[in-house]
Structure 1
Amino acid sequence: MKHNPFTSKTYQETWLKYFAKQKTNKRFQCLENLSFIKHRFLPYYINAGKNMTNGITYSVNPSKTDLKNHGVVIYDVPDYCDTSSTSKNESLKIHKVAQYKGFLADLSQVDSFEDYLQNTLNAKSRNKFRSTLKKFENCFDVTYKYYYGAIDKEDYHIMMTDFKNLVENRYGDLKIDTSLIREWPFYEELVYKMLHEKKAMIISINIAGKPISMSLGFLSETALVGAVKAFDTNYYKFNVGHIEISKFIEWCIAHNKRILDFSKGEYEYKTKWTNTKYLYNCHVVYNNSSVTSKIIGFLLVKYFELKQYLRDKKINLLVAKARFALKNIGTSKQQKLPFKIQSIQGEITNNDYQLTSLDEEVRHYPFLKRIVMDGLYQKPESYSNIKLFKSTDSIGGKPSFVVMGSKSKYLITIF
């Protein structure tokens, strides 16, 4: 990857500031473009960025032999990174441990999004995408906003606050602990700088001016690499993640980016929208002429092989769920109450139901919004037509609601 954003001065210096405090960074002349820090306890070095990057590429200088008795770990190196020049240096050895699958969209042979759509998705998927996009844009006041280049500091703060809220809510829905929130101060400083350098961009899908889906990508000379994404699951039926991908592809083609890299991790949306697969590897680098370095290298390889074995068994996901549960012990939670949906005919009276606001009611019954949005997907019409009525008398202390639009009318009874 030419001009890799994750090996840029801005990225590495910002990462070192937040995650390597009071540590001296080190460079090895045989491993170009990278900075390293020593592991806190063990005798080896880790690349700046560690596992927070979305693809480290580097080059080897075969004429340099300054690794000595050290061991080095370089995280998340895509297998298209060429390190073949190590063959010219008998003392420098690189052992690659497969870690994650990677996916990218090669856009070099297309001139438009429609070209890519035609070449990548089958007829059924194309028709579904177009139909869902039309529903989405007809039902809501939709705008697409791209943050790229200079941005006002106050506007940036508001945008990143919205982004953080989406991330928190998304992982809360999944009941998975994420380090992203703890790392958010790093992203706030980093992304502001890299937006101004045009080495980052953020796309935001807004409804009535409010973000419901946001994604961060980093930019090289020829590629956009996806990094952080989150969306409001109330709009799940409208496939906003797929719509967001289509906008990324359009943007890449318009800005002469030949690759849209979806980075590590295997998900349904990636397999559907990409046309190229690759592997991320962990590179363990050691000096073959040093016994100490060889031992360190051997132990590191076995360690990362074990980590991958546990990852293949989904142990990492179980740990993330357990951490989430432990962190949320004792916190008050809004339970999803049982409910029933019934179609209704005829008129409702002001004696039985009064007009209310969905935004007001979701404070007490958050699941109402997903019900209304799913209903809108089934019978599309402008969201501005939808009215919500609340019963004046409650059953068992729980109200009922009538959702009324020009194409549908139904009753939500909460038990």
Structure 2
Amino acid sequence: MHRKNADFFFEIFEKNAIPEPFTHLNSSQDDQIINNDNYDEKLLLQRSHFHNIFFIPDYLAPGFDNKLLSVKEVTQFFKGYAIFLRDSENAEDYIKQRFKKNAKSIRKRVRRLESCFDIKYEMFYGNIERSTYDKLIDMAKYMLERRFIQRNDTNQALLKWDRLKQLFFDLINSKKASLFLITQNDIPIVISLNYHYQNKMFSSISAYDIDFEKFSLGSVEIYNKLKWCIDNDHNVYEMGMGDLSYKREWCNHIYQFKHQILYPKKSLIALLKARKQYFVVWSKELAYKLFYVRYKKYKSRNKKSAAPVFKISMVPLDNVDVSTLKKLDLDHKAFSYLKKSVYDYLYSKTEHVADIALYQESNDDKTFILVGKKSTHRITVD
């Protein structure tokens, strides 16, 4: 008798399919029973294996025929993070419930970005042109690469990017996935890829322009996707596995995944193999509980971010005559390394990017003058 493994979370959100042994799901957030259209009792009985199924969220409880199968269950160490939206009329309502007195800080993050740039939001769900998709998916890859080089870390999505690129186009056009986009002056600064299943959105991959670090693009993204979810009758915004501070900040439902081992009731061999597998899984989860947090702390202490290529400083100036200086285009590739410093200035002064000008000091390719409405600064590159 063989073991058949299945990642429940992956099957549901990426494949839009309920794993084989389950007859249905009990969706607690909309009091809905979701039937498994592919369930085949005869086929299930013919197969000589037991099922090893992991990463089951608590709000999608699977059901099975208990006349045919028995189950052994282990609570997994890893937690899932979700936002339940059924009690929220709109995104504003949710942030008031979730953040209470700090709700203003969330709105402030959104307003600050919109005050400094010409911002547009767009959701591709059910329709995206191939040329648009290719352009955006390649830009998302570039932004992820840039971010993880900065972090001196590995991104799991990048390791399987070719498969994901091929996958998401069809999923978006069939409303099984979406691409959320934030642009400034029509230039992408946030690209998010999401899966959809039965009015539930899983925010899978988010790529950001790291030059906008000060602007809390993650919060702006989540806020606007929550608006979309509520407007489009989605009752769950799922963030998946991974204990990160922004998830704890936003999520009103933190849960532990379940691991289920299902096996034929009338088979002694299946029972013995299921018991063995249960012990293996239980031991692994215990090891995670005892050692994983220590390992993460050790890894965090010893991880070093990539050293910056340039050291950039800014000092305020008074009464600078720029009439003889060369005006620069900040969007030109040659000056892209100055963007973060300029955007940091915009954030601190709440000025719009259209109201500033950048100049190069005469015969000096490492010194620049930034002129805004409220102040003037010299930028020096070392």
- Give the TM-score normalised by structure 2: 0.80
Q: Specify whether residues 143 and 314 from structure 1 end up closer, same or farther in structure 2 by C-alpha distance, changes over 3 A only.
A: farther
Choose which of 7, 11, 21 in structure 1 pairs with 2:11. Answer: 7
Map Cα deviations across residues 219-239 of structure 1 (whole Å, 9 max, x no partner). Answer: 122311211112112212211
Q: Specify whether residues 316 and 304 from structure 1 end up closer, same or farther in structure 2 by C-alpha distance, changes over 3 A only.
A: farther
Choose which of 280, 289, 295 in structure 2 pairs with 1:299. Answer: 280
Choose which of 96, 105, 115 in structure 2 pairs with 1:118. Answer: 96
Check conservation: 1:140, 1:207, Cα contact below 8 A.
yes
Matching of residue 409 in structure 1 with residue 381 in structure 2: no
More deviation in 200-209 or 101-110?
Answer: 101-110
Check conservation: 2:21, 2:51, Cα contact below 8 A.
no
Q: Specify whether residues 317 and 166 from structure 1 end up closer, same or farther in structure 2 by C-alpha distance, changes over 3 A only.
A: farther
Choose which of 92, 99, 111 in structure 1 pairs with 2:77. Answer: 99
- Please list, as runs of the form range in 1=range in 2, the aligned pairs for 1:271-282 lying within 5 A after superposition: 271-282=248-259
The letter for the 1-side match of 2:85 is L
CA distance in 1, matches of 2:217, 2:139: 17
Match of 2:349 in 1: 379
Q: Specify whether residues 407 and 66 from structure 1 end up closer, same or farther in structure 2 by C-alpha distance, changes over 3 A only.
A: same
The letter for the 1-side match of 2:87 is Q
The letter for the 2-side match of 1:75 is F
- Richer in strand (by share): 2
Check conservation: 1:387, 1:403, Cα contact below 8 A.
yes
More deviation in 89-98 or 232-241?
Answer: 89-98
CA distance in 2, matches of 1:106, 1:239: 22
The letter for the 1-side match of 2:279 is F
Matching of residue 80 in structure 1 with residue 52 in structure 2: no
Does the residue aligned with 2:159 lie in a helix, a strand or coil? coil
CA distance in 1, matches of 2:77, 2:57: 10
Matching of residue 358 in structure 1 with residue 337 in structure 2: no
Q: Specify whether residues 347 and 364 from structure 1 end up closer, same or farther in structure 2 by C-alpha distance, changes over 3 A only.
A: closer
Q: Which runs of 5+ in 1 are unaligned?
A: 14-26, 35-56, 326-332
Q: Specify whether residues 230 and 305 from structure 1 end up closer, same or farther in structure 2 by C-alpha distance, changes over 3 A only.
A: farther
Q: Specify whether residues 283 and 307 from structure 1 end up closer, same or farther in structure 2 by C-alpha distance, changes over 3 A only.
A: farther
CA distance in 2, matches of 1:185, 1:33: 33
- Give the TM-score normalised by structure 1: 0.75
- Percent same amino acid at aligned positions? 20
Deviation at 1:370, TM superposition (A): 1.5
Choose which of 388, 391, 398 in structure 1 pairs with 2:361. Answer: 391
CA distance in 2, matches of 1:75, 1:5: 8
Check conservation: 1:100, 1:281, Cα contact below 8 A.
no
Check conservation: 1:237, 1:374, Cα contact below 8 A.
yes
Deviation at 1:104, TM superposition (A): 1.8
CA distance in 1, matches of 2:234, 2:20: 31
Check conservation: 2:368, 2:378, Cα contact below 8 A.
yes
Does the residue aligned with 2:55 lie in a helix, a strand or coil? strand
The letter for the 1-side match of 2:83 is A
The letter for the 1-side match of 2:321 is I
Q: How many residues align?
A: 360
Choose which of 272, 286, 310 in structure 2 pairs with 1:337. Answer: 310
Match of 2:168 in 1: 191
Match of 1:179 in 2: 156
Deviation at 1:28, TM superposition (A): 8.6
Check conservation: 2:73, 2:258, Cα contact below 8 A.
no
Check conservation: 1:30, 1:67, Cα contact below 8 A.
no
Deviation at 1:338, TM superposition (A): 3.2
CA distance in 2, matches of 1:379, 1:186: 43
Deviation at 1:81, TM superposition (A): 3.6
Q: Specify whether residues 72 and 122 from structure 1 end up closer, same or farther in structure 2 by C-alpha distance, changes over 3 A only.
A: same
Check conservation: 1:93, 1:287, Cα contact below 8 A.
no
Q: Which runs of 5+ in 2 are unaligned?
A: 1-7, 26-33
Deviation at 1:83, TM superposition (A): 4.8
Match of 2:220 in 1: 243
The letter for the 1-side match of 2:330 is L
Check conservation: 2:24, 2:63, Cα contact below 8 A.
no
Deviation at 1:267, TM superposition (A): 2.3
Q: Specify whether residues 218 and 231 from structure 1 end up closer, same or farther in structure 2 by C-alpha distance, changes over 3 A only.
A: same
Check conservation: 1:78, 1:279, Cα contact below 8 A.
yes
CA distance in 2, matches of 1:241, 1:9: 22
More deviation in 205-214 or 270-279?
Answer: 270-279
Q: Specify whether residues 232 and 28 from structure 1 end up closer, same or farther in structure 2 by C-alpha distance, changes over 3 A only.
A: closer
Check conservation: 1:99, 1:282, Cα contact below 8 A.
no
The letter for the 2-side match of 1:193 is D
Task: State the superposition RMSD in angstroms.
Answer: 3.7
Map Cα deviations across residues 177-204 of structure 1 (whole Å, 9 max, x no partner). Answer: 1231231122122211211221111111
The letter for the 2-side match of 1:74 is I
Match of 1:47 in 2: none
CA distance in 2, matches of 1:280, 1:293: 19
Deviation at 1:68, TM superposition (A): 8.2
